[in-house]
Structure 1
């Protein structure tokens, strides 16, 4: 523990605060202890041999103070509060346009719960921030070393509590703001945010108290009015003392049982341990060093604080086996605001204030050589000689006692805002006029006066604009508050340069170069591909379809053309927005070197997930065939599909399984000489599997009729293939015989199954339906029977005429009082349970019913027609049948051979033929009569 600094430095301030506590507080001892402790924290931080520079995240006042101090002190070592394993990425900032975020990403976890994957940590960096000024100074100044001393990204999650929902952000809870979300608000995704200088009350009542008495709506506005503006022009000593004072205040007025209490102190122990280790190893002089950290951590009271502390080093646990990948991703003002709970537009306002302060004071900021998206850095500003250490004086007492300097009204600035917001509002559909500009001007001044400030802030202006222009109607997509954000700086979105992209992202841009588009732009671009005209375009098409599978839907969107099994469109059209989705493309690069590798890994991972199903595996097989030319991968995924199918105990995915396996079988039959081994195994396994589960599925209330219909569709549709591969049809017959459903739809399915097996003739099935319609107690449930018959079209497509007949009979026989309440149930049942099967019924009805209204009067339903020739009116078998057989000798020979009857047919034989054919006819007269009737009817 370090020795206390000189007690006389802030002695007068301590006495004043103690007197105030005794005068105004109910319990002066407690308050006096807090106030004295705050002063002690300031005294301790400023008395440390290693200069501590307290900052607030994305604060232009901190950035200005940092810029001035770096030019004056010119330190040789800069210790920065940032994850130590992110240091190699900082040099890549030269190739980027700020704001960007330094990211650590992990998908292969070891030592963390699997449900946390993927892990992601981001540290956003803007130009108007103290950390960027320190980074730019250290990296571009010869002889200066930059050392990151905060915990590693692996420790961020090691120290995170493990709730069921997974890790949460290190940032504060976001403020709820109205209006349309900005375009770049989701650039950080669900990453955990790490910021330098999290300076915000962690006591909700304290923050509410400050907002109420400060007459502001949110914390960002309070900070801008009461801290940012007063210290923007303060000298170095005053800035440090005020920032440590605020950090100490928020630190002491926080709940003692806060979850982050131990983590904050462990971070401080970690950082001081790393600082002392580096000083011991490098031999650097602490007088030439600068420690940049958040003001909250500058007021630390841990035992490792300070270079003169005798406490042992903090034990740092080893990192887990998690494999971390590092890179830069684009960020934006709105993404920073959303992640760290800042008010919408506050970062843009801070950037505008930073630019204005630079112009006012004539300062030249530090900027990395090659930095994109800004003016040239100009002179380095090292003309001033390094300053020597000077005694620290008490600037805090005077700063707290003196009233703030009056900030005069800048009418020209406010007038420009008012004119511009009216112009912008008119472009977005508002009926704004010059009168509204005047109203906004006067209301801004009025609001500022009500809030005890002489000069309207951007927040006052935004409130006045909403009041005077928006009123209660938003005619367009943007409200007035969003327009004010755009006017005051907009949502600046960063971009990662080509040289800083991971290999996969660079490979994607290189392979898509034949398209002739600048894919790094954030605009949506249209690509037209004629695959037959340019031999380089088919490879681009293949890559685009893979990116379509891997990236968000709006990154790569097909407009014309499709890629199905066995089909490739000759022409394609795409909308590409890779620049807008640069973060997703970069994170894709963390998973592999090429798109093909990442796609193969994801397909393998998808079929190995704990919740993977046979339908999932078949979808992966289909994607592998469509997108990757890898028979080995297809066989591997197909074998996994067989394993998953045999292990399933439910049939919830039976419709999806049936649809996909049919499509895959059709593809392999048309493209290969024989089916792959996994396809044959899937059919045989599925046949036995569904036969086993069929009786249970029929009676299980949780299993829908669509699932049972899909099971039967698999069994009957794959029956011929399954039997040829060695399956036994008796399995299916036994399964149907053991099924005893009670639900009407499943009863109808069972009847259809028995009919398909030849156990229930169509005439008997028609009689059963007639009995149902004749029973008044069953009529309300008849739509459920119809639903079962519709699902039966899957296993028995030949029942389509019967289903049309049954439905038509119901419409004809039921009276209106029964039919009208019955129709809505029928329609909803068919829509919910058979949307893909109803078109078959429509086609069958179109074939059955007449096509014109006059023909309808004379139309007789086929199932009621009586004009069909009867067997009694046919010629006698003794004369007609031999003549018929003699006229078709080849057919007779084939039939005789199939039935095992030997003999030759003589073409010159008399009508009364003899031999094997005559014996066959004599032995089977009924069959001969039926065949003759069919042929005579067809010829007639």
Structure 2
């Protein structure tokens, strides 16, 4: 290795290593190895073109080289299965990202679904220039040689793991355009040795890696010739490669990628017979310095054994990207991609270059630079040493461009004033002088955009941010802005195009990146009902504020004549595109989602009922609804816990109410759900009462199902004895569940109201039980769900507690009561509030003369025994007659409502009135009804 064009440089570096007597022993080997790597890469007959990801210098060098060499075959480091997407770039506005997406996995863990791989493309990147050249130049073949997207996840330790970055998460939507996709980048050129990066940043007097790269690589190489560019980039890649930890999985994965790519290159060379002199291999500088045995286009080199792909069905498409999304995903400094884009445009104009561009691509608003005619193609040229002069000489940087810096300072002050800052001309002057000062302190010939940004933050922002944008963000907007790409209509999947076509009657430009208000008058324009239906489906399927209703709702049995929507589909284009991976129409995707929810491994009866409700709201497919309903019946029968009982009760009530209004008879699955649920909850009721893991809310929901569905269940063949036995077998110990059991027995007629009132009074009178009284109250409040007529009793016991308990007991007890009600029965407190409003007087003056209705002195009415004797009846009939006589106002109201004329006759001494006798005869004729009424009113 002593000869060759780099022998002088190798000797010079080894001499420098020997001069460092205290340096590490490995230093001579590293320095000599770097030179050997450069020599090895440049001697390869197939030209290797090293690049860095989204580097303007790489893009400029690529433009120059393509115009000069005019290769016939381009091998590009990009996932080989993304090739068919490249022609779709013509319909897009950059930046966009190539995406491979898989929702249904075969060969990967199901819990990692969905899997997504993205490869962002910007105009200021070498890969885009190569793609545009290959697609627009006849006779040029573009071959993608990197591992497939399937292999990306095969080689990952945890499929679906997100690309790690050094930047914190950003809440802005633009920084989340890539979601949790795994990023594939060309030219990941960054030190993997933490101490090296820290050393470079410290001695380079910069804050982060992007600034170091711009200062010491981008600017010097922007105008370098091809040979100098190649040698410097390979040298940097070799340095980072030799200092990277070799015992990590990432380094092993990089070497596997290199073996994979070189194997694919040799396969194509052998199959096509292409001349290596007419080919160019574009890869990251890190991979350009590879020394794996498979590297090289020599047919005698060993091949890499490529494992087969899994059976996962990958879907491909384009999604919009942005500068900030690229920065967030690949760990770049905020604003660095925008600054690179501005540098790219400036160097194009300065060097009179015209970049390659796909015909028909949407304009980014930049004018093309003029260029002289391209020179003729050249053949191979001998390798010469350009590194020695480059490394030993002073880098020729452009001097201070006062006009450019002055324009930045004026514009940032203007932009700051628009965003609420009290900036003035003096601040513009201060920013100018501070930028020059910072550049001088950092050893720079001219202020960089990063120096200008630091100066602007120091001079303008100070210590407050009046708006939502700080000065650093304003500088990013000024220097290039967070340009956001867009996928054209022709490149959208069928579902996305169908959505835009079906929403066309709204008369809005839905591709615009702004929130638009859609007003739907369904009474005046009934043709918009289809748009409304589609918007509600999109609202269900799309995350975030892409489709947001302002006025109107979608519930069972409701029908609105006017709706108002905020539509932001332009900024959520990626969500619609990924929706298109799941089906051809929105209805198909929605049906698949509903089936997936109902048949998932963690599906419950409540989730299946939710799917039933959504199918009624959005799809109106009786077949699908019945299928989902039958699935809900199966899930309910298989459940061994009652955790979902509140949701089941709420949803089945809503569905039964809807069916009773819209259909002449209930669907068969509904009847089966009611009868099966009745038997299911009766079976689980005794164990749920005593199980500590079952909350009082769940037990209350079970009782609510049993009592509210009792009449329907009995009519469908259920036996009430099963419920009575379940209640009798229940023996709870916790106070809240004891209260629920008392309420259940009261509902079944086994516990009269008088006895229930006595038990509550005993609780208040027992000092040992008073601390636990809030738990009893919570149980009684939960009982208002299955036993609504218990609400007056709950108001009564609360009133008694506040009236009887002394302050020394009530004050410590009150916070516990409030917390208990909030945690266990918050939704039922409004029921008690309404009942209290009906019970207590409405004015403060009436409160003084008010007597509680549960007090014995509240009303003067004959006793049941006395009234029974007055009518000459006994037993239940006498009790019912006494109830009628004692509540004449209620009887009059009922008689008036039924259209019965007449009134109450005076009662002679010792005789019953005729009306009472007639009522007594009626009650005697129907004793069972009298008994039921007596139990119902607690007599």
- TM-score, structure 1 as length reference: 0.92
Instruction: Tell me the SS of whatever aligns to 1:290.
Output: strand
> Counterpart of 2:900?
none
Counterpart mapping for 1:548-627 below 5 A: 548-627=539-618
> Counterpart of 1:121?
117
> Counterpart of 2:860?
867
- Across the two proteins, how many residue pairs are aligned to each other? 901
Deviation at 1:878, TM superposition (A): 5.8
CA distance in structure 1 between the partners assigned to 2:599 and 2:152 by the alignment:
29
> Counterpart of 2:132?
136
Identify which of 162, 167, 181 aligns with 2:160. 167
Deviation at 1:818, TM superposition (A): 1.8
Identify which of 614, 628, 631 aligns with 1:640. 631
> Counterpart of 1:240?
230
CA distance in structure 1 between the partners assigned to 2:744 and 2:810 by the alignment:
28
User: Which string of whole-angstrom CA distances, capped at 9 and with x for unpartnered residues, describes residues 881-906 of structure 1?
Assistant: 99x99xx9xx99xxxxxxxxxxxxxx
Identify which of 98, 120, 123 aligns with 1:102. 98
Deviation at 1:256, TM superposition (A): 1.8
> Counterpart of 1:280?
270
CA 1:849 to 1:36, structure 2 compared with 1: closer, same or farther past 3 Å? same
CA distance in structure 1 between the partners assigned to 2:754 and 2:177 by the alignment:
66
CA 1:558 to 1:874, structure 2 compared with 1: closer, same or farther past 3 Å? same
CA 1:123 to 1:912, structure 2 compared with 1: closer, same or farther past 3 Å? closer
Instruction: Tell me the SS of whatever aligns to 1:536.
Output: helix
> Counterpart of 1:900?
none
Counterpart mapping for 1:489-504 below 5 A: 489-504=480-495
CA 1:767 to 1:42, structure 2 compared with 1: closer, same or farther past 3 Å? same
Instruction: Tell me the SS of whatever aligns to 1:732.
Output: helix
User: Which string of whole-angstrom CA distances, capped at 9 and with x for unpartnered residues, describes residues 41-79 of structure 1?
Assistant: 100110010011000000000000000000101111111
Does the Cα contact within 8 Å between 2:100 and 2:316 map onto a contact in 1? yes
The answer to which of 424-433 and 13-22 deviates more is: 424-433
Counterpart mapping for 1:420-459 below 5 A: 420-459=411-450
Deviation at 1:651, TM superposition (A): 1.5
Does the Cα contact within 8 Å between 1:303 and 1:309 map onto a contact in 2? no
Instruction: Tell me the SS of whatever aligns to 1:121.
Output: strand
CA distance in structure 2 between the partners assigned to 1:401 and 1:685 by the alignment:
87
> Counterpart of 1:355?
345
Deviation at 1:206, TM superposition (A): 1.2
> Counterpart of 2:17?
21
Counterpart mapping for 1:761-772 below 5 A: 761-772=752-763
Does the Cα contact within 8 Å between 1:182 and 1:334 map onto a contact in 2? no
Deviation at 1:557, TM superposition (A): 0.3
User: Which string of whole-angstrom CA distances, capped at 9 and with x for unpartnered residues, describes residues 576-612 of structure 1?
Assistant: 0000100000000000000000000011111122221
Deviation at 1:455, TM superposition (A): 0.8
Deviation at 1:868, TM superposition (A): 2.1
CA distance in structure 1 between the partners assigned to 2:815 and 2:916 by the alignment:
63
Counterpart mapping for 1:627-776 below 5 A: 627-776=618-767
CA distance in structure 2 between the partners assigned to 1:310 and 1:174 by the alignment:
42
Instruction: Tell me the SS of whatever aligns to 1:863.
Output: coil
Root mean square deviation, CA, Å: 2.7
Structure 2: segments with no counterpart, 5+ residues: 885-890, 896-912
Does the Cα contact within 8 Å between 2:116 and 2:160 map onto a contact in 1? no
Counterpart mapping for 1:276-425 below 5 A: 276-308=266-298, 310-374=300-364, 375=366, 383-425=374-416
Does the Cα contact within 8 Å between 1:748 and 1:789 map onto a contact in 2? yes
1:8 equivalent to 2:4? Answer: yes
CA distance in structure 1 between the partners assigned to 2:790 and 2:197 by the alignment:
72
Deviation at 1:834, TM superposition (A): 1.4
Does the Cα contact within 8 Å between 1:877 and 1:929 map onto a contact in 2? no
> Counterpart of 2:871?
877
Counterpart mapping for 1:77-92 below 5 A: 77-92=73-88
Does the Cα contact within 8 Å between 1:136 and 1:368 map onto a contact in 2? yes
1:50 equivalent to 2:46? Answer: yes
Instruction: Tell me the SS of whatever aligns to 2:318.
Output: strand
Counterpart mapping for 1:480-559 below 5 A: 480-559=471-550
CA distance in structure 1 between the partners assigned to 2:324 and 2:370 by the alignment:
32
CA distance in structure 2 between the partners assigned to 1:827 and 1:915 by the alignment:
51
> Counterpart of 1:902?
none
Does the Cα contact within 8 Å between 1:332 and 1:492 map onto a contact in 2? yes
Deviation at 1:277, TM superposition (A): 1.0
CA distance in structure 2 between the partners assigned to 1:877 and 1:564 by the alignment:
54
CA 1:607 to 1:916, structure 2 compared with 1: closer, same or farther past 3 Å? closer
The answer to which of 855-864 and 192-201 deviates more is: 855-864
User: Which string of whole-angstrom CA distances, capped at 9 and with x for unpartnered residues, describes residues 197-225 of structure 1?
Assistant: 11011111111111111111111011111
Instruction: Tell me the SS of whatever aligns to 2:827.
Output: coil
Instruction: Tell me the SS of whatever aligns to 2:176.
Output: coil
- TM-score, structure 2 as length reference: 0.92
Identify which of 202, 205, 209 aligns with 1:212. 202
Instruction: Tell me the SS of whatever aligns to 2:145.
Output: strand
Identify which of 255, 272, 284 aligns with 1:265. 255
Deviation at 1:373, TM superposition (A): 2.3
Deviation at 1:873, TM superposition (A): 5.4
CA distance in structure 2 between the partners assigned to 1:809 and 1:822 by the alignment:
14
> Counterpart of 1:896?
none
> Counterpart of 1:901?
none
The answer to which of 849-858 and 324-333 deviates more is: 849-858
Deviation at 1:176, TM superposition (A): 4.2
CA distance in structure 2 between the partners assigned to 1:100 and 1:735 by the alignment:
64
